Structure 1
Amino acid sequence: MTDPDCLFCKIVAGDVPAEVVHTTERTLAFRDINPQAPLHVLVVPRHHEPNAAASAEADAAVFAEIATAARSVATGAGYDDYRLVFNTGAGVGQTVFHTHCHVLAGRPMGWPPG
């Protein structure tokens, strides 16, 4: 499934340019246009779901593949320590309603985030 109005669906389709850094049959990873760390990449499933919970429910295997792709992106860039972030809902900062995982690394990150 795709959503013709979804920015990330358009990136997956190649209709909107992005700096792609990793691909698998079911995921695509590209640099965030507003990076919050030296490494800030988004990993998205090629299939549209509105958020992480919906993706996990629809296809647990692709959800696991998102995490595996995120690890490949981070370690491939030379980072063994990295943060993965899924925002679910506008109230916590989700602005594109297509599941995506932020991969962040390269600077100290305190806890709690935000």
Structure 2
Amino acid sequence: MIKEIVKDIVFLEQKSELATKDDIEVVNDLIDTLRANLDSCVGMAANMIGIKKRILVFTVGDTIIPMINPIILKKEMPYKTEESCLSLTGFRETIRYEKIEVEYFD
């Protein structure tokens, strides 16, 4: 189901909890909501739809990849870039990495 995008900064700053098998509908809702926003978004986290769980989805070409309980194991080659977010207005400078190694459930 397509969900409304949360814009409450206080909520967005809260720590997310580990996801469980019972959270599969959150994954489906994130995928539906991302598909509805593909013109302006390449990825979404569960907190963006009001769920404090460690779940995100993102696009690689035409494929949407879910990551459940992701953990960054390694990051290399940092660079500065600007990005925006459906939950926040405007653009922000941030550091991203050319290579990352992530462990997650799918």
Give the TM-score normalised by structure 1. 0.28
Bigger helix share: 1
Structure with more contact order per residue of length (Cα contacts < 8 Å, sep ≥ 6): 1
Bigger strand share: 2
